């Protein structure tokens, strides 16, 4: 959607623009903006990227926190070995994670592949696997 009335043609994810940490209601929904970069347009400071509450982020490299959630959920897991290389998150009443992983079935002739391991971390910090989907 194009922001109108302020003399530019940039495309923005959220209109009206909001600053990091501010909320707006539109059609009963709440959106939270996360400042990644800003531009000044005639006195307006606009966020270049907004994270939609309830929406999934783009896949990105794991942070130390992401890795810790993955390790917690797979603690004691035996069988196929999972090595995460990208993650996407969704904020709900807690956080959903989708980890893209390289997989290894530990056999005399190991079988390699990839899978998406979905994990839910509740507000109390506990985490568990909700699904594993080969890709």
Task: Please state, in angstroms and rounded to a whole number, the distance separating the CA atoms of residues 105 and 122.
Answer: 29
Integer distance in angstroms from the first to the last C-alpha of the chain?
A: 33
Range of the domain at 8: 1-52
Final residue in a domain of this structure, among 12, 29, 52: 52
């993650």: which residue's tokens?
A: 87
Structure-token pair, residue 85:
């290389």
47 lies in the same domain as 72? no
In a domain, 16, yes or no: yes
In a domain, 57, yes or no: no
Q: Which of 59, 121, 69 is nearest to 96 (CA)?
A: 121
Q: What is the pLDDT confidence band of residue 53, given thresholds at 50, 70 and 90?
A: low
Task: Please state, in angstroms and rounded to a whole number, the distance separating the CA atoms of residues 85 and 92.
Answer: 23
In a domain, 58, yes or no: no
* pLDDT tens digit sequence for 54-88: 799 999 999 999 999 999 999 999 999 999 999 99
Q: What is the pLDDT confidence band of residue 100, given thresholds at 50, 70 and 90?
A: very high
130 lies in the same domain as 68? yes
In a domain, 29, yes or no: yes
In a domain, 2, yes or no: yes
Final residue in a domain of this structure, among 11, 32, 52: 52
DSSP class of 8 = -
DSSP class of 63 = P
SS3 58: coil
42 lies in the same domain as 68? no
Q: Which of 127, 66, 76 is nearest to 100 (CA)?
A: 66
Q: What is the pLDDT confidence band of residue 52, given thresholds at 50, 70 and 90?
A: low
Structure-token pair, residue 47:
């966020």
When divided into structural domains, the chain yields a total of 2
């Amino acid at each position: 959607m194009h922001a109108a009335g302020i003399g530019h043609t940039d495309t923005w994810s959220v209109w009206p623009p909001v600053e990091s940490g501010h909320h707006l209601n539109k059609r009963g929904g709440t959106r939270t903006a996360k400042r990644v970069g800003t531009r000044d347009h005639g006195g307006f400071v606009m966020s270049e990227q907004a994270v939609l509450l309830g929406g999934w982020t783009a896949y990105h490299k794991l942070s130390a926190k992401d890795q810790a959630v993955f390790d917690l959920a797979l603690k004691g897991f035996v069988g196929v070995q999972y090595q995460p290389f990208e993650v996407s998150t969704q904020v709900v009443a807690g956080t959903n994670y989708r980890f893209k992983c390289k997989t290894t079935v530990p056999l005399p002739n190991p079988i390699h592949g990839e899978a998406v391991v979905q994990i839910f971390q509740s507000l109390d910090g506990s985490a568990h696997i909700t699904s594993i989907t080969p890709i």
